Amino acid sequence: MDTYHSLKLLQLELKQEKYSLTSVVKYYLNQIKVQKHLNVFLDVYETEALAKAEELQKKLKAGKPLGKLFGLVIGIKDVLVQENYKVRAASKILEGFESQFTGTAVQRLLDEDAIIIGSQNCDEFAMGSSNENSAFGPTLNAADNSKVAGGSSGASAVAVQAGLCMASLGTDTGGSVRQPAAFCGVVGLKPTYSRISRYGLIAFASSFDCIGILSKNIEDNALILEVIAGHDEFDSTVSSEKVPAYAENLQLDKKLKIAFVKETLESEALQPEIKEATLSKLEWLKSQGHQVEEVTFLYLDYLLPTYYILTTAEASSNLSRFDGVRYGYRASEVQDVESMYKLSRTQGFGEEVKRRIMLGTFVLSADYFDDYYTKAQKVRRIIRDETSAVFAEYNFIIMPTTPTTAFSLGTKRDNPAEMYLEDVFTVQANVVGSPAISIPNGKDKQNLPIGLQIMADSFKERELYAFADYLMKS
Ligand code: GLN
């Protein structure tokens, strides 16, 4: 099996019997072993993946109808559940836990003949920007092993970057699909909030959480979204908006009006090469006859505080269910019920998760609720309105995905505030609920990938994919 290009091509070659699906799966299983030092997979489903490959190969031979994702070898972030499989959210607190059911997105992959090859490392409960907050150790960036993978879906991005599988499902609450995608030079989509059912996703911040897709190219990404998006009777928060055939409509059919946010490019924290790469894309778009204009967004400084106040509040509530009573880790040396709760949570959660639970509990406390939580909700509304005003005039907003390329392991771990700044460009899409994608946009002097982010108005994934595809092929 050669290097992977696209699912369409793979399916064609499988039909032409150039190789068998079993040999494809074996290839990936071997790659996972060879590149084990990257620390990508927490569990590899070797037996099941091979069995499914055999089964699908027979289906192909028998001339039976094949699923849309036939042959897709995909990995899933360790926050998505599958019946009788372990899931840990990269935390010690879920030690020994196995899910009793399969989540909707994962089930839909399986129903369309994808092969799930394993569960992928991440930051604990998806809280982090470097994959260093995992109870199972950090994932390494394949471009340079001394650099972080990004987070929290870091391993899901490295898996695609290093060719350990064809695509991954991650999650994006504040940038966790797009930021690692940028650090690893792959495509990462965060869809519109509510586009994909979250049944079977371990919750972090429920009014922000989205399942997202990491892939090598736009076409695969679009095809996967087409399969997993849409109404689901198990999730009352999912939208029933019709799901278009995203992958069949990738042509850009008009000249566009594109906005870029002046403040993002003037930011002092922005690495000069990222600024240059972004500006040169904008120039190229102008040269192609698109209208590219600068807009100001006065609320840039309010994005991170709004995000961190609301997500910690929601996380402190969501994570209260991990108490050592019903499942997962339970401390052994306890005297009574209260010390059992306290010790289990103290020992089971990592430092960053505890920090967020405490912050969230504080902003929700009676004395401070109005000052923080209520205020942040109001600011969220203003940011939404301001963003909508831009989308009333422009098709897309372009900005860098991240202020820097992948940083060295260990450099930001002890400084949470600096780590939070990593999300400065990605959280807007989560605060307002709109879709956004990160695509590769060259490399910096250290040869590390740079990401370009495109944001669109809600439910405009089709247009977003078409534009991203156009840019990637430019
Ligand atoms: N880095 C952000 C955070 O730590 C985003 C996390 C995410 O999107 N899951 O909150």
Percentage of the chain modeled with pLDDT above 70? 100
Question: What is the average pLDDT across 240-247?
Answer: 96
Residue 296 Cα to ligand 1 midpoint, Å, equals 25
Whose alpha carbon is nearest atom 10 of ligand 1?
Answer: 127
Domain that holds residue 93: 7-248
- Separation CA 445–CA 448 (nearest Å): 7
Give a yes or no: residue 398 inside a domain.
no
Instruction: Please indicate whether residue 152 is annotated as part of the active site.
Output: yes
Instruction: Please indicate whether residue 176 is annotated as part of the active site.
Output: yes
Query: Ligand 1: which of 127, 310, 419, 421 to mutate, most ligand atoms within 8 Å of CB?
Result: 127
Give a yes or no: residue 292 inside a domain.
no
Query: Ligand 1: which of 130, 169, 173, 208 to mutate, most ligand atoms within 8 Å of CB?
Result: 173
Letter string b/e over residues 412-439, b meaning 16 or more CB atoms within 10 A of that residue's CB: bbeebeebbbbbbbbbbbbbbbbbbbbb
DSSP state of 8: H
Q: What is the pLDDT of residue 188?
A: 98
| pLDDT tens figures, 259-310 | 999 899 998 899 999 999 999 999 999 999 999 999 998 899 999 999 999 9
| pLDDT tens figures, 341-400 | 999 999 999 999 999 999 999 999 999 999 999 999 999 999 999 999 999 999 999 999
Non-local CB neighbours of 319 within 8 Å, separated by 6+ positions: 125, 349, 353, 357
DSSP letters spanning 238-275: S-------GGG-----S--EEEEEHHHHH-TTS-HHHH
Q: Is the CB of 150 under 6 A from ligand 1?
A: no
Contact call for residues 106 and 169 (beta carbons, < 8 A):
yes
| pLDDT tens figures, 113-143 | 999 999 999 999 999 999 999 999 999 999 9
| pLDDT tens figures, 323-336 | 999 999 999 989 99
| pLDDT tens figures, 55-84 | 999 999 999 999 999 999 999 999 999 999
Give a yes or no: residue 159 inside a domain.
yes
Instruction: Say how many domains are in the chain.
Output: 1
Instruction: Please indicate whether residue 77 is annotated as part of the active site.
Output: yes
* 152 prior amide bond cis, ω within 30: yes
Q: Is the CB of 221 under 6 A from ligand 1?
A: no
Place of tokens 């064809």: 166
Q: What is the pLDDT of residue 207?
A: 98
Q: What is the pLDDT of residue 111?
A: 98
The one-letter amino acid at 99:
S
Q: What is the pLDDT of residue 458?
A: 98
Give a yes or no: residue 29 inside a domain.
yes
Give a yes or no: residue 350 inside a domain.
no
Asked if pLDDT for residue 37 goes beyond 60, the answer is yes
Asked if pLDDT for residue 1 goes beyond 70, the answer is no
Neighbouring CB atoms inside 10 A of 356's CB total 25
Mean predicted lDDT score pLDDT of the chain: 97
Q: Of the listed 52, 68, 77, 281, which one is catalytic?
A: 77
Give a yes or no: residue 321 inside a domain.
no
Give a yes or no: residue 445 inside a domain.
no
Contact call for residues 436 and 212 (beta carbons, < 8 A):
no
Q: Of the listed 91, 153, 176, 194, which one is catalytic?
A: 176
**Token pair for residue 44?**
């590899």
CATH number at residue 38: 3.90.1300.10
- Separation CA 451–CA 403 (nearest Å): 10
Give a yes or no: residue 400 inside a domain.
no
